[in-house]
Each structure stands twice: as C-alpha cells, then as structure tokens.
A and B are shown apart, each in its own frame.
Chain A
C-alpha cells in the first residue's frame, strides 16, 4: 500500500492510500455531491486546477468506459474519495478507475475521512490543497500549498479552449435520446459556440435540439465570430475566475443585441460581466447533481447538475434591463437571468446534465425558440 497525504492551506491534514498515479498536485479542493458520474466529473474542463472530493463514499464500482468522457482527458488535478471499489462491474467498463487515473497521470487518495473534509470545506469555504505521494511531511506540504496560486483572478479558459474552430456533429448515445426523439425533423439553426472549456454533452444536446454547431476558441474576436454568420451564439461552461477573462467579456459585449445568446455556467457569468455586472466567489460553490433551482416564471422546481465556484451578483445588474429567471433554493443565489430587450438568456447550471437529471432540458428548446422568434421579428443582422 502506497501512502498519500492531503494537506489544506489552513492546516487540515489527511493521510490515506494512494491510487491512480503517483506524484504531487496542487489545486483548489472542492467537493461534489453526485453519487455517480465520476467519469464525467473527472473530464469536465470546469474542474481545471481543482482537486475534487466525492461526498459519496464508494466510487469506481462501474469502472471507466470510452463513451462517458466530457473531454478527451481528465481535467481535475487530483481525486479524493473515501473508498475505491475493489470490484468493477459494468457491461461498458473498459478499465478500472485506478487504471484510468494511472494512465492519465492523475493522483488519487482514498481511505480518508471525506465526511470530515467536506464538513470542514462547507464550514470554512473551499481551500487550496495538495495531494502528494512523494513528500509525506505535513509541514513542508503546508508550506508548498501556501505558496501555490489562488483561484481568484486566475484565467484558466486559455488552458482549456480549443485552438482551432471545428464543426461538431455527433449523435447522442441511445440512453440520452430521451425524451426528445420527436425533435429530429425540425428547422436547423447555425450557431457558434464559444469554447471556454465545453463539455461534449452540451454539443450533443445542441445537435439533438436542431443546431448546427461551429465551435470556436474563446480568444476569437467579434469579427471572427460574425464572419461565420451565426443564427445564435452559445457561451460554454469553463473553469477559473470569469473576471479574469476580459478578452472574452469584450467579445460578448459586442455580440449583445446583434445575435441571440445563450450562456451556461461560465458563459452566464461572462454575459453578466459584459452587461456591466459583477461576479463573486462563493464560499464553497455548487457542485453536484442534486441542486434545486426554481424557475421564477413557472414556479417549477428542477433538480439540476451544477459546477461553479463563482456567482453573479444580482444587485450589480441593472434591474431595468435584466430579469432574474432562476434562483438556487439552497442559498437563494442567482442561477439564471434574461435580458428584457435583447434576445439573450443564461443559466448558471448545466442543462445538459452529464451527470445529472434531465429536468432542465427545456432550456435548449427555449434557445431554439428564441432564435426562431428573433428571426421572425426580422432583427437578424
């Protein structure tokens, strides 16, 4: 048994067993409340430079397959779990979680009291941390963590965005085609998706709902995007501090009012910044597949998949133009807004789920409708 150590910047220390790769990694330690879906979580680019703790105690029982990845490689820095399932059993499983992390050089630590760790993070906020199998001296690790960079003010979008633009056309996996099989024959709109670290299932969902998607880099300018003559623009999820992505905010500023825009997660925050709002860091963020969100218009509550550490400050937005459409029922923070004059709306959570419930699927439909209405009213430039 190889030992590993996890140390937080405020002096919390855990000794456990190493799994996956060996090494020493630094990142913001965050927790995810999903019971399953670890493969999607590991490969979600929004987890860049973060060490993810799973609150569910047993992880890895269905192994790893080739279909469930949200990007080509694991994006997390490190993975923390209570217990790695020694038995892997699933018809799609190609390898065990431990082997997968080993192949992709992601260190994991298991056998620690994750309940204590998560309670601490919940009470004291997310912390920087380190997982190490090389250095097992708590004091020296603590020193290294204190010297590691903070998440606030960090632009991580440039680390995960695509270099070249590409067309995305992929059919959904059979289990995801529900409940929208009847949508196959419909008007198809061309949209540009600005990739700040997109998850593949968002693209699949957009395809499924009748969008022809061109994915472009987050560093592409307004002119680059408009030259593709899009019917709409989609702003993807992504990692890091939105306030640090000034180039992206600038591009979006120019797009507002010109084309219909739909943003999720980081895209939502970028949109808020482009509209003159502010974002702030949440104490411990929202990460998991069980966050209740209320649609203030329909008063319907949906259970959503979320992954964000920053949040839009509602008070900073001009209420004459902006209407808050969704709130998180756990802490009443803003989860979605729309513009009263321009064709744009955004949500903080992940309607594509993956992993998570499909409650919010209607938002892709809403985007389709928004573009349709926009073209009908002849506003298209």
Chain B
C-alpha cells in the first residue's frame, strides 16, 4: 500500500538529542544507576533501550544490565491479527526483583503493547517500580496508561501512521508521520 509522508518529526540529530535528554531525566528521577535497568520492548523499543543504556553508561561511567522483552505471547489480539510477528524472545540477564525498571518503547499509541509488556515483566519477578519511556506519544489511548518520559508528543489522526526508522535496522534514524494513499 502506498503511503505519503505528511510531516517529518525527527532526524538523526534530533533523535540523539531526545535520547540524551531522556537519559538525564531517567538518572535524575531514579537518583543514579543503583538497581536501575532499562528494558526495551522488541523490536523498536529494544533498540531504543540499548541507546538509552549506552548513553547512561557514558554519563555515569557505569555499565548497566541489559534486557529486552518479547510480548508476542502476551498480546490481547493474539490469533486475531492476520500475520504473526516474528518471535524475538525475552532476554533478561538479571533478576528483575527489587530493580528499578524503565520500560522503553518507540511509539505509545493505544497502550495495549505496554500493558502486555507489564504482564510479561511481572512474570519474571517483582520490580521496585516500573516507569515508561517512549520516543513518541501519538495519543489515542485505549487503556489508562501514560508515559513518564516522552520524547515528543505528536497529535495524529487515527488513520495516520507514525513511522520510526532506526539505523540498526533501517540504515538511518528518522521519524515521520505518513498517511495511506
């Protein structure tokens, strides 16, 4: 299906600035890196989580543990949508109990992905707290979920699509809003 780019939101530099800012905010609110873990939601969220983690490592000079979760099996629409996403698997190299978890996703939309991620997360233990960091909040929530750290709020119409490209998988960093033609 053809899409048409309506508006560019972020380029590579802009995305890096947002990541830098949120990294500092995370550190400020969590008062340092003790027990702090960054967990990304596969797949965009995991890439973003890795960027936060690297940025925080260089700000605080401490390597913090990495983790990503795959929510495929926790989706409330599993079996309803036509094509099944590829399973990436959950990778948590630490015990989640007692940790300060920052959950990361690229776009916050209905809130259903985050709900599934929370379900997945608590299956691994009982974190001290969980906060949510997203690169973009495009509105249209269907569940009572909000983000603690937001890169950009972008008003969108329901039929529009927010496209996030990462260098790691799409060769360049960019965010734009598109509409199906």
Where the two chains meet, the residues of A that have a C-beta atom closer than 8 Å to any C-beta of B are 7, 11-15, 112-113, 116-117, 138-139, 142
Contacts and interface: CB of A to CB of B under 8 A. Distances in A.
B84 interface: no
Nearest to B63: A11
Nearest to A113: B61
A238 B66 CA distance: 41
A13 B62 contact: yes
B86 interface: no
A138 B61 CA distance: 10
Interface string B21-62: 000000000000000000000000000000000100110011
Contacts of B64: 11
Contact of B62 (A12, A15, A112, A139): A12
A142 B61 CA distance: 13
Interface of B: 54, 57-58, 61-64, 66
A7 B58 contact: no
A195 B62 CA distance: 40
B58 A15 contact: yes
Given A11-B62, A117-B61, A139-B63, 9 more contacts: A7-B63, A11-B64, A12-B62, A13-B58, A13-B62, A15-B58, A138-B57, A139-B66, A142-B63
Contacts of A15: 58
Nearest to A117: B61
A7 B62 CA distance: 9
Provide the main secondary structure of the chain B interface.
mixed
Contacts of A11: 62-64
A1 to B, nearest CB: 15
B168 to A, nearest CB: 13
Nearest to A120: B61
A11 B61 CA distance: 8
Contacts of B54: 138
Contacts of A142: 63
A11 B36 CA distance: 14
Contacts of A12: 61-63
Contacts of A138: 54, 57, 63
Contacts of B66: 139
Contacts of B62: 11-13
A319 to B, nearest CB: 45
A72 B58 CA distance: 37
B134 to A, nearest CB: 24
A352 to B, nearest CB: 36
Nearest to A136: B54
Contact of B63 (A13, A112, A113, A117): A13
Contacts of A116: 61
A28 to B, nearest CB: 19
